[in-house]
Amino acid sequence: MIDIHCHILPGIDDGAESLEISCAMAEMAIADGITHVVATPHANSTHRFVPELIRQRRDELQAQFEGRLQLATGCDFHLNFENLQEIRTNPSRFTVNQKDYLLVEFAEYAIPPALDQALHDLQLAGLHPIITHPERNPLIRAQPERLFRWLQQGCYAQVTAQSLLGKFGSSAREMSEKWLDAGAVHFLASDAHNIHSRPLRLKEAYDLVAKTRGEETAQALLVDNPLAAFEGRPLPFVPEIEDGVGEPGFEPRGVRRRKRFWFF
């Protein structure tokens, strides 16, 4: 499995506090069957994003796990003014494995309408925004039509694996289930921060999806699509989104066969 969202680097943000914890998280990932991890520290007003330091910490950790776990870098990109100015001139500083996919994080207190245009501008610059953990954002849960407008615009959605397992509460789990059934989820990732409350594990979520929605969907969300983003390729699996998704009173029809679309 490939994890495209993880706070594994030591002393960068609110993730791993030390190299010892980073190593423990890496061992946890290997034991869980994860082969690639993208270290994605926050890039927001609280946590200063310094790509040179991030690469240094990544190299230090990679040296201890060479041949066992492949580490790359990206970030949890916040759509603030400074970041949007910087990404215009140097997008690869922020993207997954310095390719063209970008994890985008929304604040939980406000999502101004202007951010719709900001996402569009990122796409015009050749980037593919991936909305991170929308199921955990109360504003997006309350206005799901905004998420589906972004998806129809060409963005993608990444749900936290632990949300699907109920570790972030019933609302996040129920929304994850509903959006999976609606074909609105493109990635599952750990968003791991430590070894206890936010672990670097994906296998339990893989098994749950395989059991309830089929092996093909589990493979797509935890292997095929994440690997394509890691390598900078078009996503091989884009689920069909049901008509009416995001409208008031919408209820998905349940588990159904997914269609495979290839974009060139």
The pLDDT tens digits of the residues spanning 128-151 come to 999 999 999 999 999 999 999 999
- Would you say residue 252 lies in a domain? no
pLDDT band at 262 (very low <50, low <70, confident <90, very high): very low
Q: Collapsing DSSP states into helix, strand and coil, what is residue 214? A: coil
Instruction: Tell me the DSSP string of 6-63.
Output: E--STTSSSS--SHHHHHHHHHHHHHHT--EEEE--EESSSS---HHHHHHHHHHHHH
Which range marks the domain in which residue 59 is found? Answer: 2-231
251 falls within a domain = no
163: pLDDT strictly greater than 70: yes
CB burial of residue 15 (10 Å; 0-12, 13-18, 19+): buried
Asked if residue 255 belongs to a domain, the reply is no
Residue 189 has which token pair? 């990732």
* pLDDT beyond 70 at 252: no
Tell me which residue of 159, 114, 170, 116 sits closest to 135, measured CA to CA: 159
Identify whether 245 is part of a domain: no
Number of domain units in the chain: 1
> Letter for the amino acid at 47?
H
Per-residue model confidence (pLDDT) at position 255 = 39
In a domain, 237, yes or no: no
Q: What is the pLDDT of residues 20-66, one digit of tens each?
A: 999 999 999 999 999 999 999 999 988 889 999 999 999 999 999 99
pLDDT on residue 148: 95
| Percent of the chain clearing pLDDT 90 (strictly above) | 84
pLDDT of residue 259: 41
Total Cβ atoms within 10 A of residue 243: 7
Mean pLDDT rounded to a whole number for the chain? 91
Q: What is the pTM of this model?
A: 0.91
| Lookup result for tokens 């101004």 | 112
Helix (H) or strand (E) holding 87: helix 81-89
pLDDT score of 90: 93
Q: How far apart are CA 258 and CA 214, in angstroms?
A: 10
Residue whose pair of structure tokens reads 């936010």 in the numeric block: 198
Q: What is the pLDDT of residues 67-85, one digit of tens each?
A: 999 999 999 999 998 999 9
**Does residue 37 fall inside a structural domain?**
yes
Query: Is 203 among the domain residues?
Result: yes
Summarised one tens digit per residue, pLDDT across range 182-219 is: 999 999 999 999 999 999 999 999 999 999 999 999 99
Half-sphere exposure at residue 232, Cβ-oriented, CA atoms within 13 angstroms: 11
Q: CA dihedral in degrees (8, 9, 11, 16; nearest 10)?
A: 20
Kindly report the CATH number assigned to the domain that includes residue 173: 3.20.20.140
Rounded to 10°, the helix 81-89/114-124 angle is: 10
Task: Give the pLDDT confidence score for residue 245 in this predicted structure.
Answer: 57
Please indicate, yes or no, if residue 263 is contained in any of the structural domains.
no
Element of type H or E holding 209: helix 203-213
Q: How sure is the predictor about 108, in pLDDT bands with cuts at 50, 70 and 90?
A: confident
